[in-house]
């Protein structure tokens, strides 16, 4: 009887460990994204959040967002979308759990199963999910900011939350990628001189970087790149097949086309900051808006040049865009341009009908974003396959 129980236990552990062994997953081939061996284009939207910072963990998914997210996933699928970008910890107010000294103690009791429930629903709708761990565009939680400045505290997050989280979801066919941080440039001092060009932010001076306020909330580029390098390495150690990206706020921080731009997220820069060889990105991601919204895009913005123009060594996805801040382009034109000009994806901002349209002038309506996805529904040309089974 005891032997039988041990055998049953072993089988259950084996099945759990290899639940998704035979599943397909998003991968990289040169400068292309692929799924099940086929070149694909990630046509989708930013959910970002339903309840800012409180969509997952501590029972929040069931209480706040499950029904809304499930409805949105079905609608995105019906419009031909194949991917969504969703924010997780955000500023760190709900998860993870910090102790009084700012060390991470645990995720909480519900975070991992809630994420898996969301992924299962995404899979049922043939949608890939990119989980965004942190928000650099707006970050007020002092304990989360300390993860950039204190390596022991960052390691406590990696050991207590990140690695267990990645392990619990490893190989899930709907898990498209992990994004370490949204728009880290919001946190960065934009006028730091450094002998190593990877950490020298003078090219970003007066560019708009460092928009997180107050000044005490800013960090150096070196600290930011270490923050990314260590977490990317931990993800790769735990799930070697997982993809990792970062959502850059502008093309100015991920290319070297002019004297006021630089690619800070190269393999060499990330490793120089953190020293962990696995801590690299698998694909680049850029956000782009005309500023002001009625103006034209900047000369080197994605909607003015092809992806190839940046000379990058990895795939490039347009992670945020909006019709409202496009200088007059329609949402259909934006998605079409991305598809035909070498980009590997386009995600409109934001799948959320804000009751106050003046709160963020970039926000497109759900109806508008649906039109963008509909433009590419069923497409299977040189830009990549748009609709494919997630299994």
Report, as residue numbers or ranges, the catalytic residues.
Answer: 183, 320
| Class of residue 291 by CB neighbours under 10 A (exposed 0-12, middle 13-18, buried 19+) | middle
How many whole angstroms separate alpha carbon 268 and alpha carbon 292?
34
Residue entry with tokens 């962990």: 276
Comparing CA positions, the residue from 108, 130, 109 lying closest to residue 119 is 130
Contact 272, 222 (CB under 8 A): no
The 3-class SS string of 30-78 reads: CCEEEECCEEECEEEEEEECCCCCCCCCCCHHHHHHHHHHHHHHHHHHH
| Sequence-ordered list of residues with C-beta below 8 angstroms from that of 105, at least 6 positions apart, any chain | 96, 97, 98, 99, 156, 160
Comparing CA positions, the residue from 287, 306, 291, 332 lying closest to residue 85 is 287
For 380, other C-beta atoms within 10 Å of its C-beta total 14
| Class of residue 30 by CB neighbours under 10 A (exposed 0-12, middle 13-18, buried 19+) | exposed
Helix (H) / strand (E) element for 106: namely: strand 104-106
């Amino acid at each position: 009887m005891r032997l039988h129980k041990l055998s049953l236990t072993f089988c259950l552990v084996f099945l759990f460990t290899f639940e998704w062994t035979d599943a397909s997953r998003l991968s990289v081939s040169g400068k292309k994204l692929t799924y099940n061996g086929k070149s694909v284009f990630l046509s989708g939207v930013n959910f970002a959040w339903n309840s800012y910072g409180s969509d997952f963990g501590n029972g929040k998914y069931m209480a706040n967002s499950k029904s809304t997210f499930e409805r949105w996933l079905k609608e995105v699928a019906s419009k031909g979308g194949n991917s969504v970008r969703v924010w997780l910890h955000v500023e760190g107010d709900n998860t993870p759990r910090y102790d009084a000294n700012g060390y991470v103690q645990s995720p909480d009791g519900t975070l991992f199963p809630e994420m898996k429930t969301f992924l299962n629903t995404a899979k049922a709708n043939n949608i890939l999910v990119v989980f965004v761990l942190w928000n650099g565009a707006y970050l007020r939680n002092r304990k989360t900011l300390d993860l950039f400045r204190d390596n022991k505290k960052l390691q406590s997050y990696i050991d207590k939350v990140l690695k267990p989280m990645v392990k619990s979801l490893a190989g899930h066919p709907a898990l498209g990628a992990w994004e370490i941080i949204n728009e880290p440039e919001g946190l960065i001092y934009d006028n730091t001189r450094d002998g190593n060009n990877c950490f020298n932010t003078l090219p970003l001076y007066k560019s708009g970087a460092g928009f997180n306020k107050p000044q005490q909330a800013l960090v150096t580029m070196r600290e930011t790149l270490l923050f990314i390098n260590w977490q990317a390495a931990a993800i790769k150690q735990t799930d070697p097949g997982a993809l990792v990206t970062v959502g850059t706020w502008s093309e100015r921080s991920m290319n070297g086309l002019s004297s006021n731009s630089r690619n800070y997220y190269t393999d060499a820069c990330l490793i120089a900051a953190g020293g962990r060889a696995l801590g690299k990105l698998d694909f680049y991601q850029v956000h782009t808006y005309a500023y002001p919204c009625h103006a034209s895009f900047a000369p080197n913005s994605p909607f003015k040049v092809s992806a190839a123009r940046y000379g990058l060594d990895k795939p490039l996805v347009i992670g945020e865009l909006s019709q409202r801040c496009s200088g007059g382009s329609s949402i259909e034109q934006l998605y079409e341009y991305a598809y035909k000009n070498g980009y590997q994806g386009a995600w409109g901002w934001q799948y959320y009908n804000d009751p106050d349209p003046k709160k963020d002038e970039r926000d497109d309506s759900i109806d508008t974003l649906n039109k963008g996805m509909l433009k590419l529904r069923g497409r299977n040309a040189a830009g990549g396959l748009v609709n494919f089974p997630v299994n």
